[in-house]
Amino acid sequence: MAIPQPAPAPDNWSAQLRKGSLDLAILASLWKKPLYGLEVLRSLEDGSDLTVAEGTLYPILNRLRVEGLLESEWVDSGTGHPRKYYKLTDAGRRRVKEMSRAWAEFSDKLNGILKSIGLKG
């Protein structure tokens, strides 16, 4: 007999959803202009509900760079220390568009189902 599994707590589900969208959020935050690590962090905090630990962000930025989606450059900040700026490569821009399209399609379909719930506000 199958053992009934407890439903995942909404908080846990919400955290999983954030995890899954983090690559897209990081890449999208670099769409308009190059940013350095701390700016990416702040952009995610300000522009979305994503709070990312520094120890998580930098390895991801490095991986995206190795994947060829980002390129980096050290720039003298004028404050006495250089900053490492990240910018999207052409491949990175294409990937953001693909991911955004997939996200929008998925979101539209899900919203269609959720309409019946009729939640507002």
Partner 1 sequence: MTPDMKTADTIDRYLLRFRLALAGAKDKEELVSEIRSHIVERLEDHSRPVDEIVHDTLSALGTPEILATRYRTEGLLERASTTMSPLLLLRATMRWAMTGIRGFFAFWVLFLGYFMAAGFYVSAALKPFFADRLGFWVGDHGFGIMLRPSGGGDTEILGMWFAPVTLALGCLCIIGTTKFVRWLISKRRRTNSTTATA
Instruction: Give me the residues that bind partner 1 (CB under 8 A), please.
Output: 11, 14-16, 18-20, 22-23, 36-38, 50-56, 58-60, 62-63, 66-67, 74, 79, 81-84
Tell me the closest approach of the beta carbon of residue 121 to partner 1, in angstroms. 22
Query: Is 37 or 89 the residue whose CB approaches partner 1 more closely?
Result: 37
Question: Which of 99, 34, 32 shows the shortest CA–CA distance to 61?
Answer: 34
Q: Which is nearer to partner 1, 60 or 93 (CB)?
A: 60
Provide the minimum distance between the beta carbon of 116 and partner 1 in the complex, in angstroms, as a whole number. Answer: 27
| Cβ 103 to partner 1 shortest distance, Å | 12
Q: Hey, what long-range contacts does 5-10 have (CB within 8 A, 24 or more apart)?
A: none
Handedness of CA 38, 40, 45, 50 (dihedral sign): negative
Q: How far is the CB of 72 from partner 1 (least distance, A)?
A: 9
**Spatial separation of the C-alpha atoms in residues 97 and 24, rounded to whole Å:** 10
Question: Which one, 19 or 101, has the nearer CB to partner 1?
Answer: 19
- The H-or-E segment that residue 20 falls in is helix 10-29
The smaller minimum CB distance to partner 1, of residues 67 and 116, is found at 67
Element of type H or E holding 88: strand 82-88
